[in-house]
Amino acid sequence: MPRFSASLSLERFRRQLANVDALPQLCVLGVVSGLVTGALMVVFRSLLALGGWLLFPGNDPEAFEALSAPLRTLMPLAAVLLIGLWMWRMPPAGRQIGVLHVIDRLTYQQGRFPLRNWFTQWWVGLVSVIGGLSAGREGPAIHLGAAACSGLGQRLRLPHNSLRVLVACGTAAAISASFNTPIAGVIFAMEVVMMEYTIVGFMPVILASSMGAVVAQLVYGPDPAIGIPDLHLKSLLDLPWIVVSALVIGLLAGLFVRVSRLVRRVEHVPLALRFAVAGGAVAAVAWWYPQVQGMGYDTLQATLSGSVAVDVLLAVAIGKLLLTAGTVACGIPVSIIGPILVIGGAAGALCGLAGQALLPLEASEPALYAMLGMAAMMGAVLQAPLAALMALLELTHNPSIIMPGMLAVVVAGLTARQLCRCDGFFIGATRHGLHPLQQPLMQALSRVSVPAVMERNLVRTPRMVTPDQARALLERGPVWILIIRSSDDKPTLALKAADLARALMEASATDTPATQGELIDLLEIPGQRLEMAPIHLQATLSEAFERLNNQAVDALYVEHGHRPRQKRISGIITRGAIERYYRFTVERSSE
């Protein structure tokens, strides 16, 4: 009995989640997602620390400078070998990981993730960072968190519209737990991954990001991932030079995106050769400048403290940029978020040093320019200005830096977008204009599952029925009559019950033979019949809309159950019902 009651409660929970206003239920999922993702991030960071304990002096997984030149040169070659061997065993679809994979699954698979890609992300994420490639931990964190939260929803057979929210919750909590920046995590999830801002979407994501930060702070303390000195704008005379610096960083961001997209031009090159080129390039630069290896947060910390030589800053700003983008272009799916922060910091510090040379008395500290460079580079590469500004605010805990930060982020973003013709690294324009997640119709339909709109009052019947059988069908009060034509007991046509009732009345009034007991052919009576195809109960309205178009049908019958023999029809959804819902949504949002 308790098990039956729990099953009913879960079924009720699923029905509530199917609606657009299921805010309390989504908030519960947000809390659970944040805790799950926070725990995963602790495990991932602990594995990185374990690698540091095994391989590096001082147990620091970023201490490549402390290694001998031959050893740190061999490590990237070993890393690409290990990653290549893993990828070689995988089909092309199994090699997709990282933030790009998260957005792709959210766009085209309603947030459902393959398990093999999840395991690939663990391996590639750990090996690429510990092995000395120019890579970060944030991309793996986002994929691991988003896929784990989505997997929890799939395990509970939640409707697909809630899976989308779970993906956003996992993304936000991963960023929050990585940097201890919960607000930036929320904005990144909504601006880069979901590409929408709604109250229903925001609240569970806020809760998830908060819970992720709580878990991280319980383990690592309240300090942010990067220690930031007290930074202030010395004079308004800095503003013109900040604009110039942001212009330079915008050009670097455009170069980064352009180089990374060369992957389409080198796809014909054998995978082994591309991996060897990527590993060899990192190894060659690392012989002299190990600062280009790994995440680079130690180098960024030294940059902010002003203890990095100019040649090292140049190597990081240019070398790490080309190495990271080149690694992506060669087909190794490393995380770029951490490296672009380090690149931006180094480029900003160089601009700050140049500013001090030009205005020795009035120029602000290079550390300020380094911090602005981090935000500008992140905002320009990702085309995510709000996420970059929130990261800047939370890392510095200094509201006075927001004004110059806004200026730097906007100028850099405009430069990358307009002068370099580069859209965001993760999302670019398609041949048809907007990416599917940027289309208002698909966004609105993705927030609701089929049960919220489908018509449940229906009956199933064979094509041929007697008048008495037809009247018995109508006594049940259906809106639709599903006509079974094939031997597999699947309905293929839907008839309005009102049309059958009208036909019976006309036949009775004219005393046609049909009233005398002959069979009625439901395909012959006057009325509109809708061609149908199946769809699952967990599907969203966007999935239903796409299936209607792809199958060229007018309606879908909604199946419930996973095993073929257990499937039953729960309702019917028509194109008109979807259009009415969308019109209602638009009218309500305009009030």
The pair of three-digit structure tokens given for residue 438, joined into one six-digit string: 């940027």
Q: Taking residues 417-445, report their average pLDDT.
A: 67
Q: Is 256 exposed, middle or buried (0-12, 13-18, 19+ CB in 10 A)?
A: buried
Task: Indicate if the pLDDT at residue 64 is higher than 50.
Answer: yes
Phi, psi for residue 529 in degrees, rounded to 5: -115, 135
Q: Taking residues 147-156, report their average pLDDT.
A: 92
Three-state DSSP class for 449?
A: strand
Supply the DSSP string of 37-104, one letter for each residue. Answer: HHHHHHHHHHHHHHHHHHHSGGG-TT-GGGS-HHHHHHHHHHHHHHHHHHHHTS-GGGG--HHHHHHH
Write down the residue that tokens 């040093």 correspond to. 353
pLDDT digits (tens, 9 = 90+) for 88-127: 888 888 999 999 999 988 887 878 899 999 999 999 999 9
Q: How confident is the model at residue 439 (pLDDT cuts 50, 70, 90)?
A: low
Task: Indicate if the pLDDT at residue 85 is higher than 80.
Answer: yes
The pair of three-digit structure tokens given for residue 32, joined into one six-digit string: 């659970």
d(CA 22, CA 162): 9
Closest C-alpha to 151, from 100, 121, 111, 103 = 111
Task: Indicate if the pLDDT at residue 432 is higher than 50.
Answer: no
Q: Taking residues 344-357, report their average pLDDT.
A: 94
CB atoms within 10 A of CB 4: 8
The pair of three-digit structure tokens given for residue 363, joined into one six-digit string: 């120029």
Lowest mean pLDDT across 272-286, 431-445, 463-477, 499-513 = 431-445
pLDDT at 591: 53
d(CA 200, CA 203): 6
The pair of three-digit structure tokens given for residue 79, joined into one six-digit string: 């890393």
Answer whether 245's CB lies under 8 Å from 348's CB: yes
Tell me which of 446 and 545 has the higher pLDDT. 545
Using the 8-state DSSP alphabet, how is residue 261 labeled?
A: G
Task: Indicate if the pLDDT at residue 7 is higher than 50.
Answer: yes
The pair of three-digit structure tokens given for residue 20, joined into one six-digit string: 């657009």
Q: How confident is the model at residue 458 (pLDDT cuts 50, 70, 90)?
A: confident
Answer whether 401's CB lies under 8 Å from 233's CB: yes
Tell me which of 428 and 389 has the higher pLDDT. 389
Q: Taking residues 151-179, report their average pLDDT.
A: 90
Mean pLDDT, the chain, integer: 86
The pair of three-digit structure tokens given for residue 493, joined into one six-digit string: 């046509």
Closest C-alpha to 296, from 222, 258, 247, 347 = 347
Tell me which of 329 and 194 has the higher pLDDT. 329
Q: Taking residues 161-173, report their average pLDDT.
A: 92
Q: Taking residues 571-579, report their average pLDDT.
A: 85
Task: Indicate if the pLDDT at residue 435 is higher than 60.
Answer: no
d(CA 498, CA 478): 9
Helix 575-590 and helix 541-551, axial crossing angle in degrees, nearest 10: 140
Three-state DSSP class for 516?
A: helix
pLDDT digits (tens, 9 = 90+) for 367-383: 999 999 999 999 999 99
The CA-CA-CA angle for residues 468, 473, 475, to 5°, reads 95
Answer whether 415's CB lies under 8 Å from 247's CB: yes
Q: Taking residues 438-467, report their average pLDDT.
A: 80
Answer whether 416's CB lies under 8 Å from 254's CB: yes
Q: Taking residues 328-341, report their average pLDDT.
A: 94
Tell me which of 18 and 577 has the higher pLDDT. 577
Q: Taking residues 227-239, report their average pLDDT.
A: 80
pLDDT at 512: 54
d(CA 89, CA 78): 17
Task: Indicate if the pLDDT at residue 513 is higher than 70.
Answer: no
3-state helix, strand, coil in the chain (%, to 5): 65, 10, 25
pLDDT at 562: 61
Percentage of the chain lying above the pLDDT 90 cut: 47
The pair of three-digit structure tokens given for residue 90, joined into one six-digit string: 């995988």
The pair of three-digit structure tokens given for residue 421, joined into one six-digit string: 């013709």
Most confident of 73-77, 525-529, 533-537, 566-570: 73-77
Closest C-alpha to 98, from 339, 376, 393 = 339
Q: How confident is the model at residue 587 (pLDDT cuts 50, 70, 90)?
A: low
Phi, psi for residue 559 in degrees, rounded to 5: -95, 145
pLDDT digits (tens, 9 = 90+) for 175-211: 999 888 999 999 999 888 887 777 667 899 999 999 9
Lowest mean pLDDT across 60-64, 257-261, 330-334, 441-445 = 441-445
Percentage of the chain lying above the pLDDT 70 cut: 90
Answer whether 383's CB lies under 8 Å from 103's CB: no
pLDDT at 73: 94
For 327-350, give the secondary structure using H, E and C. HHHCCCCCECHHHHHHHHHHHHHH
CB atoms within 10 A of CB 3: 7
pLDDT digits (tens, 9 = 90+) for 390-417: 998 888 888 888 999 999 999 999 999 9
Task: Indicate if the pLDDT at residue 508 is higher than 80.
Answer: no
Helix 385-396 and helix 160-179, axial crossing angle in degrees, nearest 10: 40
pLDDT at 4: 44
Tell me which of 439 and 30 has the higher pLDDT. 30
The pair of three-digit structure tokens given for residue 463, joined into one six-digit string: 């094509």
